[in-house]
Amino acid sequence: MGRNRKNPHPADKAIGRALLFFREAKGMSHQDLSDRLGLDVDALVKVESGKRPLLAREFLWILEILDAPLSECRIRFTDKDPAG
């Protein structure tokens, strides 16, 4: 079942929350990470809110930039969001 930007998939929201956590833990601003990615700030905000899904290679590249291990991303890829 497809999702749209107004109703993002829970997995996209979980990925966004994980990236937000790691970005903030690294002390990076949206602008800092956007500059490293070559992505505008609005697009990064959409990623972190789950409104812009990422390709696997984009996700892994961002984790590399943030020096965040994939093993620490506890993301559930289901339609049920464990946060409620």
Express each pLDDT in 6-55 by its tens digit: 788 888 998 999 999 999 999 999 999 999 999 999 999 999 999 999 99
Task: Say what the pLDDT of residue 45 is.
Answer: 96
Task: Say what the pLDDT of residue 5 is.
Answer: 57
Q: Which residues pair with 4 in a beta bridge?
A: 7
Set out the domains of the chain in order of their start, with CATH numbers.
Answer: 10-68 (1.10.260.40)
Q: What's the average model confidence in pLDDT over 60-73?
A: 88
Say which amino acid occupies 83.
A
Task: Say what the pLDDT of residue 82 is.
Answer: 46
Instruction: Provide the pLDDT confidence category of residue 64 given band limits of 50, 70 and 90.
Output: very high
**Do the beta carbons of residue 54 and residue 15 sit within 8 Å?**
yes
Say which amino acid occupies 75.
I
Token pair of 8 as six digits: 């993002």
State the DSSP H helix or E strand holding residue 20, giving kind and residue range, or none if neither: helix 10-25
Q: How far apart are the first and last CA of the chain?
A: 20
Q: How far apart are CA 83 and CA 23, in angstroms?
A: 20
